[in-house]
Structure formats: C-alpha cells, structure tokens
Structure 1
Amino acid sequence: MKAVLCSSFTGPADLRLGEIAEPKPASDEILIDVHAASVSFMDQLLVSGLYQMRPPLPFVPGTEASGVVVAVGDEATTFAPGDRVACSSWTGGYAERMIAKGSKSVRLPDDVAFEAAATVLHNYGTAYYALVERARAQRGETVFITGAAGGVGLAAVDLGRHLGLRVVAGVGSDDKAALVRSYGASEVINYRSEDLRDRIKSITSGQGIDIGFDTIGGAILEQMARLINWGGRLMPIGFTSGVIPSIPMNLPLLKNYAIIGVFLGAWAEKFSAEAAHMNDTLMQLLADGHIRPRIDRVLPLEEAGEAMRAVANRSVQGRIVLKIR
C-alpha cells in the first residue's frame, strides 16, 4: 500500500512516498481504510526530531485521520467492518490504511464528512480538554488564546464561543484578525505589533484574564503569567516558539491562580473511557453544527511535505487535510 515515509529526523523535505506492507491490528486495535488525514504542527515536529518522543525509523507520520473500518481486533468490540470512524494515533495516518486503538477512535455521525472529521480529535479535543476538563471554564469568563488562527487555537476560539466565554484572540499578523472574529473572538490582539500588557489591561478593565490558553510559550507565556486575574488559570498547551519559558512562582502565589498543564495525548492514554466520551461529544457537536472546523486546503497524499512546510511557516489558518481516497 502507498504511504508517506519518514526515514530520518531531518524534516518535511526528506519525506518520500513509497510502498509498505499493510499493518495488522492487535487485539485492541482496528484497521482503517484512510480517506482523509490532517496535518498538524505535532506531525512536523515528529519528522524533524523536535517532539518529546521519537518513533523508531522509518515510520509513517500522521496523528489524526478518518475512514472506514475494514477489520477489528478481538477486544475492539465497539467497532465493526464498515463503520465510518475518526481516530488519533501517534503515527500512521499518511497511508492508504492505518491501525488505531479502539479506545482512541470514534464512530462518525452519518452526515459528517471525512475531511472535517479528520480535523476534530486533536484540535477540538485539546481545546475541550483544556477549557472543560482542566480549566472548568464558566460562562462569561474571559479567555485569552494565543496562536488563535492555527489549528488548536482556532478550535479553542470556536469552542470558547460555544461555551459562552468572552474570547480574546492573540494573533501574529493583522491578516488573521477577520478569521478569528468570524469564529467568535470579541477582541483581537496582534502581539507582534501591540503591547500585550496594555491591551489586556484595557480589555479587562485592569482585572486580567480568567483563563490563559497558550500554544506558543516563550516570551508570550511569560507576559501572560503577569496578566492572570485573581483565581485564574494559566494553561501551557505547547511551545511552538521553540522556547520553554520560566515563570516566577510569586506570580501565581500573589493572585492565587493555578498553572494547569494540558497534555491531551497522555490523558487519553491514562483515562481512555473519559477520552472516548469526550470524542463522542465532539462528533455530536460537529454533526449539530455547534463547532465548525476550518480546512485551509485539501492536498493529495504526495504533497504531505509541502503541507508540513506550510504548517511550519505559519501560513495555515486552521488545518490542511490530505485526501487519500
């Protein structure tokens, strides 16, 4: 079968389309005819050797996909051949067929397209886990979301709107402002050209933000740490800047706020039943039109490297999807 292969941790330029043997599902896994796979920043980090884990080489990238079940392991009894599903996995999505754990897969409502379904579990899963499970966000609270036009950030804007939060979107260029406003942001801050502290103070009447949802790290998170309201929650989601920040611990002490880590993949591994329930909830929100995944473009499988370069260059708004069938 056709698959994109990563044979060295040297980045998207060295990915190659090749032929590999079809994977065999273990007892707790399902085998899927892949119709669509999304391209994430995590995928780009994995093939570049910059993620916190390194799969054995060679491997097939692709952490999220959708398609049709063709075989099931003995323990994956909630699925059957012919089921339309979306799934998440550390690797394997950029191929004609992939395996995924039954616990990390979800059945699709009939009217949900494969392309949209392939963009939900990571993006909206991260946003849901952060805002609902970790932050316990309450209607009317103010959330500041960095990287708000990217895949995870835009999902957080969209879900924040649905939850009744006051969404302040942080972007790195003015051309992204219209998009995040259309997804529910009431205020937009360009942190490359505006003073973040002054804008947050002005927007919140000096109170600060209730929830900080940060995907960037570095200096942005260090500034956010000084802008949290009393009893607020500061959540590091990722470090796309490449810099892991240091935060003086007197800051959360003085305002009794919490720093809450958000690592969806680790939680889903430890609490598979809860994660499966969340995935069902997300797919129902999608089917009902309450969330609107943004697909930047759809590309063929052989253009996976180009898709990853676009993600790395921050020229993607939402997600790129690889159409495989």
Structure 2
Amino acid sequence: MKAVVCREYGGLDIARLEDVAPPPMRPGCVRVRVEAASASFASLLVMAGKHQNKAPLPLIPGTEVAGVVTEVAGDVSRFRPGDRVIAGVQSGGYAQEVVAPQQTVFDLPDSVGFEDGAQFPTIYGTAYGALKWRAQLAPSEFVLVHGAGGGSGLAAVEVAKALGGRVIATAGSDEKLEIARSRGAEHAINYREQDWREAVLEITRKRGADVVYDPVGGLTFDTSLRCIAPEGRIIPMGFAGGTIPTVPANIVLVKNITVLGIYWGYYFGWGRQPVLPSNDARMRAAYAELFEWVIQGKLKPFVHAVLPLSDFRTALEMIASRAVVGRVILRPQAG
C-alpha cells in the first residue's frame, strides 16, 4: 500500500510517499480501507517529534480517517466487511489502509460523506466532550471560541451552537470570521483589528464569557482569564500559538473559575488506562448524536481542500501557513 512515511523526526522534507506492507491484523481490531484522512497541525508536531504523544520511528502520521471495513479480527463482532466507518488512530492515518482497535471505530451514516466523516474522530469528538461533558454548557451561556477559523475552533463553534450556546468567535481574518458566522457564531472578533478582551466584555455586559474554548494557548489563554465570567470554565485544549501557559492560581481562586482538561485520546484508550465499558457506551452515544446533528443540518464540516495522498506535503504546508479554514482532506485511494 502507499503511505506517508517518516524515518526520522524533522520537517516536511523528511517525509516520503512510499510503498509499504499493509499493517498486520491484531486481535480486537478492524482493517479499514481509508477513503479520506484529515490533515492536521498535530501531524506537523508528530513529524517533528514535538507532540505529547511521540510516535516511534518509522512512523506514518495521521489520526483521523473515514473509510470502509475490509477485514475484522476473529474476536470482533461489532463490525463486518463493507461497513462505512470513521476511526481514530494514534498514527497511521496517511495511508491506504489502517488497522484500528474496534473501540476507536464508529459507524458512519450512509448520508455522511467520507470527507466530512474524517473530521469527526478527534476534532468534533473533542469539541463535544469538552463542551458537553466537561464544561456542561447550558443553553444561552456565552462561549468564547479562539482560533474559530481552524478545524478545532470551527468544530467548537458548531457544537456550542448545537448545544444552545451563544458563540463569540475570534480569528485573524474577516474571511475566517464570516465562515464562523455561517456555522453559528453570534459575534465575530478579528483579533488583528480590535481589542478582543474589551469586545468580549462589551458583548457580555462586563460579565465575561461563561466558557472559553482555547486551542491557541500562550497569551491568548492569559488574556482569556481577564474576560471570563465568575464561575466560568476555561478549556485549554491545544497550544497552536507555540507556548504552553501557566495557570495563575490566584485568578482561579478569586474568580471561582474552573480549568478543564480534555484529552480525547483518553477515551480511546490511548493513555495508560484501558477503555472502560461505560466510556465506550457514551462514546458511541456521542458520535451517534454528532452524526444526527449532521443529518439535521446543525453541523456542516468545512472542507478547505481535497488533495490526493501524494500531495500530503502541500496539504501540511497549507496548514502551517495558517491559511486553512476548517480542514484539508487527503484521499489515499487517489494516489
């Protein structure tokens, strides 16, 4: 099969499209013919050896795929060949085939395309878990979403809106903000052109945002603490800005706020703990609800571009340039 392979850590130049042996089947797993893979900023970190989950070499990057089951292990009863699915994988997504544990594989409705489905294993799942499970977002609460034009931020805008939140989106261009508005943002702030902290306080009548969804980190996180409501919740779910912030405990204490962690891989069993039956059940319920929202038109994944696997470098360069709105999708079966 064809796959993007990194035989050392470094920049994009060290990755190559190679012909490699398909991954071996393992107990409890399913084999998926990958029809679409979601390119992401996280892949750039993995390839550079800078991601929190440092994959062993040689590695095939990519964590979100959608496709068709072609084979199942003898102990798998949940899926069968021919099923349309999405899958979250720790690595291996930029390839024509993946083998994934059945607990990280979920049904993809016939009415949802592969290019849309490939965005759900981690970015929509994370937004759902963060806002519904962890923040317990209530209808009419203000949700401040940073990086609202990127894949993670745009997913959070849509999920927050579907949960009844009032979304305040920040991004660095009017084009990105216009798309955020089209996906449910009630207010849009260009952080390059105005003081977004003051804008948030004005929108919320000085109270601040009830929930902050922050995939940026650094100064953005620090400033968010100055426009969060009393008893608000802030979710540091990424560090695209390059700096991991330190949480000042005095602000947490004085404003009665809660800092919420969200690592979606934990629910996939990517940490040290196995997937609990209770977590598996609510994960399947979560994806069922997410796809029901797609069918209802509440979620409309934005695809910036679709490229063949051979153009993986172009896809990741687009992401590194910060020009992408939503996601870039790779089609492994196209080359």
Q: TM-score band (shorter)?
A: over 0.9
Q: Provide the C-alpha distance between the structure 1 equivalents of 2:290 and 2:13, rounded to a whole number of angstroms.
A: 34
Partner in structure 2 of residue 274 of structure 1: 282
Amino acid at match of 1:289: G
The Cα shift of 1:91 comes to 0.7
Indicate the residue corresponding to 1:151 in structure 2: 151
Paired residue type of 1:305 = R
Distance in 1 between residues matched to 2:163 and 2:304, nearest whole Å: 24
Deviations 1:224-265 (A, max 9, x none): 012111111011010011101123211121121111111111
Matches within 5 A, 1:130-279: 130-269=130-269, 270=275, 271-279=279-287
Work out the CA distance in 1 between the residues paired with 2:255 and 2:54. 38
Provide the secondary structure at the position in 1 that maps to 2:76. coil
Report the aligned-residue RMSD: 1.3
Match of 1:111 in 2: 111
1:274 Cα deviation after fit: 2.6
Which structure 1 residue ranges, 5 or more long, are not aligned? Answer: none
Deviation at 1:174, TM superposition (A): 2.7
Of residues 290, 310, 319, the one that matches 2:327 is: 319
Matched, 1:286 2:294: yes
Q: Secondary structure at the match of 1:121?
A: helix
Kindly indicate whether residue 81 of structure 2 is the aligned counterpart of residue 73 of structure 1: no
In structure 2, what residue type is equivalent to 1:62? G
SS in 1 for 2:307: strand
1-structure distance, mates of 2:267, 2:106: 17
Give the drift of 1:283: 2.4
TM-score (norm: length of structure 1): 0.97
Give the equivalent residue in structure 1 for 2:272: none
The total of aligned residue pairs comes to 325
Structure 2: how far apart are the matches of 1:277 and 1:42? Answer: 26
Contact 1:42–1:51 (Cα < 8 Å) also in 2: yes
Q: Aligned-pair distance for 1:25?
A: 2.0
Length-normalised TM-score, structure 2: 0.94
Q: Which 10-residue stretch deviates more, 295-304 or 41-50?
A: 41-50
CA distance in 2, matches of 1:134, 1:262: 8
Query: How far 1:185 sits from its partner (Å)?
Result: 0.8
For the 8 Å contact 2:148–2:177, the answer to whether it is kept is no
Structure-2 residue corresponding to 1:297? 305
CA offset at residue 106 of structure 1?
0.8
Q: Match of 2:120, SS?
A: coil
CA distance in 2: counterparts of 1:165 and 1:199, whole angstroms: 18
The residue aligned with 1:92 is: 92
Task: Look up the equivalent residue of 1:30 and give its one-letter code.
Answer: V
Cα offsets for 1:20-51 (capped at 9, x unmatched): 11112211110011111110111111111110
Equivalents in 1 of 2:3, 2:225: separation in Å?
A: 43
- Residue type at the aligned position of 1:39: A
Of 172-181 and 49-58, deviating more is: 172-181
Query: 1:19 offset after TM fit, Å?
Result: 0.8
Aligned pairs for 1:28-107 (under 5 A) are 28-107=28-107
Whether contact under 8 Å (1:225, 1:247) holds in the other structure is no
How many percent identity over aligned positions?
39
Preserved CA contact (<8 Å) 1:125 1:264: yes
Residue 203 of structure 1, CA deviation: 0.8
How far, CA to CA, are the matches of 1:112 and 1:173 in structure 2?
29
1:112 is paired with a residue whose SS is coil
